[in-house]
Chain A
Amino acid sequence: MFTENPLRDGLRVGRTLDPTSVVIFGATGDLTARKLVPALFSQAVEGELPPAFNIVGYARRDWSQERFRDWLYQSIKENSRYDPDADGRHVWENFAQHLYYVQGNFNEAEGYCRLDRFLRDLAEEWQMPDNRLYYLAAPPSWFDDIILNIDAANMAHQEGVWRRIVIEKPFGHDLDSAHALNDTVNSVFDEEQVYRIDHYLGKETVQNILVVRFANTIFEPIWNRRYVDHVQISVVEPSGAEDREEFYDEAGVIRDIVQNHLLQLLTLIAMEPPVAYEAGAIRDEKVKVLRAARPIEGAQVAAQTVRGQYTAGTINGERVPGYTELEGIPRDSDTATYAAIKWYVDNWRWQGVPFYLRSGKRLPTRVTEVSIHFKEPPHLLFGQGKDGHLHTNVLALRIQPDEGISLRFESKLPGQGLERRAVTMDFRYGTAFGVVNPPDAYERLLLDAIAGDATLFARRDEIEWAWRLVDPILAEWEGGEHAPPLETYEAGTWGPAGADALLKRDGRRWRRL
């Protein structure tokens, strides 16, 4: 008897996924419409879904199956990589047969019993094992209710089948709340069943950071304090806080971006080589980075952090209102929409190398980039350049858009003299591999969760260590005596003057994005 499917061995694409029902809590929300179901439909068209596969929505709205399917059809049409009327027409008809809706309240046990019965019947009808991937797409305030009711209905129990849960960020709003949420989650699910999703980790180019670092021999020997002067990590965007004012004013840039995306990038850049490419080994190394990051506390907060808030300005030729002019934002709000932070990682590899992190809203362009700035040559054989600058080597890993890697180095200008100019060697991810329609990060991550691969998901201790790092900063920013001033910056500029000063004090400047 074959325990594994022998026809999968040597097959060029795809992986074997167990028959699965994905159960979305909060299924009538924006995330389901914009990301989750369009991502699953794209994978259906590409033939990557398991042989038996259902999507079951659970939400409070009194919708019929038909309404749910019609609504998802429209969502797929607007947000999927494939058009259900064109390439995916026949697939849609099939896909739609496996979409179901169960109405129920998040805080009423009875609804979960109905849901459980429905899922059991569904597994029987399709003659498939009752494997379930629960996806919490509801507002975070409902997470506790949902998890505890899943437990009460005995829906987390695994016997001959598997049950997993995907949790969307934010994972708490500080260390205490994250700890409490994790306690609740782990009181019902073992850590191996829990998939905390940060969609940044599903991006090809974020995964490529590990490949660039650990599949090449030329980078790793110089990836340390002997050769690296400093590292810059930027996540900037031109959009404002519109459409999520209430959430954003509570969260601010630190909770929205720094605690998760920026620190995830920091760990991938700074981590030691894992012993294997597997979830446990990689997450162990990431946690070590967070543990080694020097806490920024008390007076250091004023010295090493900058906070800003945008005012009205112009983005791409259009006037945009200032943050406090938005409906739903208090006129006197002191929520930061920009952060620049200088961090140190106190370990053998990175001692003394500053990591400058910045993130802001209403900046001129949307860029996520990590740049490694190397030290000057020990002896300036050719002196300073004509423009008075020595352009040190920079290795830039562009996460989005125009994903790729570039290396800046000095080159001789043609001619009699020895004039130099900085030139760039460019690798564009999309063009080199002919990727014209890359999969969304959710596509990768959803399939990983179904496959039981937690490598690209955050572990409990990762989340909590990240909060340990940002909590002292938040404490000062939100009423402490060492808060840096809340600087304003005009929308469409590169952020507050203090951010430039932070680097200028160290004799450095932000890379132009």
Chain B
Amino acid sequence: MTEVVRTEVKRVGLTAIRDELRALWSSEALGEKPIVQARSHNLVVYTDASRHNVDDLVEHIIRVNSLRPGRVLLVEYDPTADEKLDAWATIYCQLQKDHQVCSEMVVMQVGGVLRSEIHSTVISLLAPDLPVILWWMQLPDVEDHLYENVVAEADRLLIDSDFFPNIAEDFVTLASISSPPVGDLAWARLTPWRRRLAAFWDFPQLRESLEHIHSLEIQHAARKPHADSNRALLLVGWLAERLGWRLAEASALEAGGYEITYRHNGESIRVQLEEIVPDGVPPGELAAISLQAGHGENLERPHLRFDPEHGCIEQKIGDVAQRDWAFRPVEPAEALAEELDYNHDAAFQAALNQAVAIVRMAHR
């Protein structure tokens, strides 16, 4: 692992950010090792300081920059402050054997009415000719002046539905955003589960059973009833879309969770989303997926279970253990880095649309 160093964090006037960035690049604090400036995109991050821990966020971004270097512009809104506008510029370097790879971050703290003016500064600081990825850390309000102006420059919008307070309404709003292409960090957290689930049907002899799934049960950790179901819903949406299921019924259970019925080839598919108390499993993370598929003697019961103690996902068919996959919940920096690699993800969009159909029917 390479060592990461940073120059002094320098408080600068808004108009002087560019000059300060330039000065930092020639700063003695960067040491004598030759510098490689690395930048493959602009990452604009918007956060509300009352909702998110900005220190943690900065640490995640530094990690992301070591995985996917880019220019980072972080807008931190402080809803409690009046007329506040401060900016800091920093350069982060990974020390290599004979050189260092550096990229920069500008943090803008804004409060009061100045929030609606900051977009012009953000836009002026974008590195030219590189993709702009906007990470809006809450559900965007499409009529928000700042959002409206910044998203107009963005090639991709990232959100994290793990932070959505009301998944039923928020998914519907999210699905209505048609441009730019949207990515969800929660979707990236599902990638290992989707891979493991898909692997069951790499056996050609099991593939027929995919046409005859009778039941699907998903357990996920939830902090309280009716919370943290976003990933489980997306996973169901993904399966339904890939397998051509048609939604028949959906209801949100009073105690938490969902019961859903799909139809396919004249058969019913019963889907249950069950909330469990987080016990070693982070909120929102899946704990287990169980299916029943096939008929009679060919009834198959694939099962995946997250074992947090051993850091693995156990894969079974019926009671027969097949293999264990190394697994730990995807960290925010890894999820962000994965999303930075993609532009339009049709599979996510289709899964989101299916999830929206479920919550619409369940909460009508």
**Complex interface: chain B residues within 8 A of A244 (CB):** none
Select from chain A the residue with minimum beta-carbon distance to B338: A12
A3 to B211, CA, bound (A): 11
A426: CB under 8 A from chain B? yes
Which single member of B40, B197, B346 contacts A10 (CB below 8 Å)?
B346
Q: How far is the CB of B280 from chain A (nearest CB, A)?
A: 15
Is B207 a contact partner of A1 (Cβ separation < 8 A)? yes
Is A51 a contact partner of B202 (Cβ separation < 8 A)? yes
Is A94 a contact partner of B36 (Cβ separation < 8 A)? no
A241: CB under 8 A from chain B? no
Is A428 a contact partner of B208 (Cβ separation < 8 A)? no
Contact with B along A182-199 (1 / 0, CB 8 A): 000000000000000000
Most chain A beta carbons < 10 A, residue from B194, B202, B203: B202
B22: CB under 8 A from chain A? no
Is B196 a contact partner of A47 (Cβ separation < 8 A)? yes
Q: Which among A13-21, A137-145, A212-220, A358-366 touches the partner chain? A: A13-21
**Complex interface: chain A residues within 8 A of B202 (CB):** 5, 8, 16-19, 50-51
**Complex interface: chain B residues within 8 A of A11 (CB):** 191, 194-195, 198, 347
Q: How far is the CB of B357 from chain A (nearest CB, A)?
A: 19
B165: CB under 8 A from chain A? no
A87 to B311, CA, bound (A): 8
A8 to B207, CA, bound (A): 12
Select from chain A the residue with minimum beta-carbon distance to B312: A90
Contact with A along B191-224 (1 / 0, CB 8 A): 1101111111111110110110000000000000
- Majority secondary structure of chain A interface residues (helix, strand, loop or mixed): loop
Most chain B beta carbons < 10 A, residue from A11, A19, A50, A129: A11
**Complex interface: chain B residues within 8 A of A317 (CB):** none
Given contacts A12-B338, A47-B195, A428-B36, contact A5 B201 (CB under 8 A): yes
Which single member of A16, A19, A47, A94 contacts B192 (CB below 8 Å)?
A47
Given contacts A428-B36, A431-B38, A436-B2, contact A1 B198 (CB under 8 A): no
Select from chain A the residue with minimum beta-carbon distance to B203: A51
Is A51 a contact partner of B200 (Cβ separation < 8 A)? yes
A276: CB under 8 A from chain B? no
A50 to B201, CA, bound (A): 11
Q: How far is the CB of A196 from chain B (nearest CB, A)?
A: 27
Is A2 a contact partner of B195 (Cβ separation < 8 A)? no
Most chain A beta carbons < 10 A, residue from B36, B199, B239: B199
Contact with B along A67-109 (1 / 0, CB 8 A): 0000000000000000000011111011000000000000000
Select from chain A the residue with minimum beta-carbon distance to B34: A426
Q: How far is the CB of A396 from chain B (nearest CB, A)?
A: 15
Is B201 a contact partner of A434 (Cβ separation < 8 A)? no
Is A426 a contact partner of B310 (Cβ separation < 8 A)? no
Is B67 a contact partner of A2 (Cβ separation < 8 A)? no
Which single member of B67, B326, B337, B345 contacts A47 (CB below 8 Å)?
B326
Contact with B along A361-385 (1 / 0, CB 8 A): 0000000000000000000000000
Q: How large is the interface on B (under 10, 10 to 19, 20 to 34, 35 or more residues)?
A: 35 or more
Is B66 a contact partner of A434 (Cβ separation < 8 A)? yes
**Complex interface: chain A residues within 8 A of B196 (CB):** 47
Contact with A along B306-338 (1 / 0, CB 8 A): 010011100000000011111000000000011
**Complex interface: chain B residues within 8 A of A303 (CB):** none
A332: CB under 8 A from chain B? no
Select from chain B the residue with minimum beta-carbon distance to A435: B67
B145: CB under 8 A from chain A? no
Is B199 a contact partner of A91 (Cβ separation < 8 A)? no
Is A129 a contact partner of B204 (Cβ separation < 8 A)? yes
Q: How large is the interface on A (under 10, 10 to 19, 20 to 34, 35 or more residues)?
A: 35 or more
Is B198 a contact partner of A7 (Cβ separation < 8 A)? yes
Most chain B beta carbons < 10 A, residue from A6, A93, A434: A434
Q: How far is the CB of B320 from chain A (nearest CB, A)?
A: 9
Q: How far is the CB of B3 from chain A (nearest CB, A)?
A: 12
Select from chain B the residue with minimum beta-carbon distance to A88: B326
Is B101 a contact partner of A431 (Cβ separation < 8 A)? yes
Is A12 a contact partner of B68 (Cβ separation < 8 A)? no
A470 to B338, CA, bound (A): 46
Q: How far is the CB of B346 from chain A (nearest CB, A)?
A: 6
Is B323 a contact partner of A2 (Cβ separation < 8 A)? no
Select from chain B the residue with minimum beta-carbon distance to A52: B203
Contact with A along B63-89 (1 / 0, CB 8 A): 000111100000000000000000000
Which single member of B38, B40, B69, B208 contacts A1 (CB below 8 Å)?
B208
Given contacts A6-B242, A91-B312, A426-B36, contact A434 B337 (CB under 8 A): yes
Is A91 a contact partner of B325 (Cβ separation < 8 A)? yes
Is B326 a contact partner of A2 (Cβ separation < 8 A)? no
Is A432 a contact partner of B69 (Cβ separation < 8 A)? yes
Is B324 a contact partner of A93 (Cβ separation < 8 A)? yes
A45: CB under 8 A from chain B? yes
Which residues 226-246 of B have a CB within 8 angstroms of A? Answer: 239, 242-243
Q: How far is the CB of B195 from chain A (nearest CB, A)?
A: 6
B23: CB under 8 A from chain A? no
Is A47 a contact partner of B325 (Cβ separation < 8 A)? yes
A10 to B325, CA, bound (A): 21
Contact with B along A425-441 (1 / 0, CB 8 A): 01010011110100000
Q: How far is the CB of B151 from chain A (nearest CB, A)?
A: 24
Q: How far is the CB of A150 from chain B (nearest CB, A)?
A: 25
**Complex interface: chain A residues within 8 A of B255 (CB):** none
Q: How far is the CB of B301 from chain A (nearest CB, A)?
A: 15
Select from chain A the residue with minimum beta-carbon distance to B339: A12
Q: How far is the CB of A37 from chain B (nearest CB, A)?
A: 17
**Complex interface: chain B residues within 8 A of A3 (CB):** 207
Is B94 a contact partner of A91 (Cβ separation < 8 A)? no
Q: How far is the CB of A133 from chain B (nearest CB, A)?
A: 16
**Complex interface: chain A residues within 8 A of B312 (CB):** 90-91
Which single member of A10, A17, A90 contacts B311 (CB below 8 Å)?
A90
Q: How far is the CB of B133 from chain A (nearest CB, A)?
A: 16
A5 to B199, CA, bound (A): 9
A483 to B312, CA, bound (A): 61
- Ranked 10 nearest A-B pairs via Cβ: A10-B347, A434-B67, A7-B198, A431-B101, A90-B312, A51-B202, A5-B201, A94-B324, A90-B310, A94-B323
Given A7-B194, A52-B203, A434-B337, 19 extra CB contacts under 8 A: A1-B208, A2-B208, A5-B198, A6-B243, A7-B197, A7-B201, A9-B242, A9-B347, A11-B194, A14-B195, A45-B326, A47-B199, A52-B322, A90-B311, A93-B324, A94-B323, A94-B324, A128-B203, A432-B69
A–B Cβ pairs within 8 angstroms, 25 of them: A1-B211, A6-B210, A7-B194, A9-B242, A11-B191, A11-B195, A11-B198, A11-B347, A12-B342, A13-B191, A14-B195, A17-B202, A18-B202, A47-B326, A52-B203, A87-B311, A87-B326, A89-B311, A90-B307, A90-B310, A90-B326, A91-B326, A428-B36, A431-B101, A436-B1
